[in-house]
Structure 1
């Protein structure tokens, strides 16, 4: 009888889930949500296997099997010209933006007073966190101060009306999707 599979912690939500090479075959390779998360943690964030396994709440040998499978599937898709599908976990995602209010979310800019972080599960806000923004209080640079905070809170989407090139590149390198909007409602937050 097979062992019960432990729940894996999945924090990364890919914005685009299907990739098709021009002139490729019609065959499709699918990465499981846990394999997408492993690629995100190791290859995008640069974590060691032990740290990545801890974040996913699996053993290091289990993580090693997950990352090996993910990399084999990626290689197969790229080298054989196959379509690639990234399965997305419906467990939720985290949205962040900077606002001068904890109730009305307008003029969203990196230097605003608060960092607003919303955890979404099943199209409901399950947790709200409001932090003093070091870009506002300490005159820190957004590209240095904010990505570290976003990674700590598992942010998948950052909403802003303006963003500098350095900050944008810093977020992209961490796998955080940037959504350009001047304002946002709670309905829009839960339907990203």
Structure 2
């Protein structure tokens, strides 16, 4: 019997959900909210995977799988000229203030 999937903690909802290619406005690749959060924490914030996994309240191995999946999808969209749609995923948005210490750029805006 498989384990229940644990939701991932996300600092806040992303405002921009659709990015369109100039040439191909019909085809999209879907990146989940938790995958985008993984990219944001590691690549934008510059946080190590161990710390980013703690912030999302998941194991480092799970975080790494999410991050690799997100990077592969983003690379495919860029190389093939497809749009990107942000939707879905198993996540919970942090209410009130986020648990990030030090506060990330997303939390500083709240």
What TM bracket, shorter-length normalisation?
0.7 to 0.9
| Partner of residue 23, structure 1 | 23
**How large is the Cα RMSD of the aligned pairs?**
2.7
Are the equivalent residues in 2 in contact too, given 1:20–1:82 (CA < 8 A)?
A: yes
- TM-score, normalised relative to structure 2: 0.80
Which structure has the highest helix share of the two? Answer: 2
Give the number of equivalent residue pairs.
106
Q: What pairs up with 1:112-131 in 2 under 5 angstroms?
A: 119=96
Greater RCO between the two (CA within 8 Å, min separation 6)?
2
Shift of 1:40: 0.9
| Partner of residue 57, structure 1 | 57
**After TM superposition, what 4+ stretches of structure 1 lie above 3 angstroms from structure 2?**
88-94
Which structure has the highest strand share of the two? Answer: 1
Gaps of 5+ in 1: 95-118, 120-126, 128-147, 158-192
Structure with larger Rg:
1
Are the equivalent residues in 1 in contact too, given 2:38–2:52 (CA < 8 A)?
A: yes
2:30 & 2:106 partners in 1: Cα distance? 27
1:53 & 1:149 partners in 2: Cα distance? 15
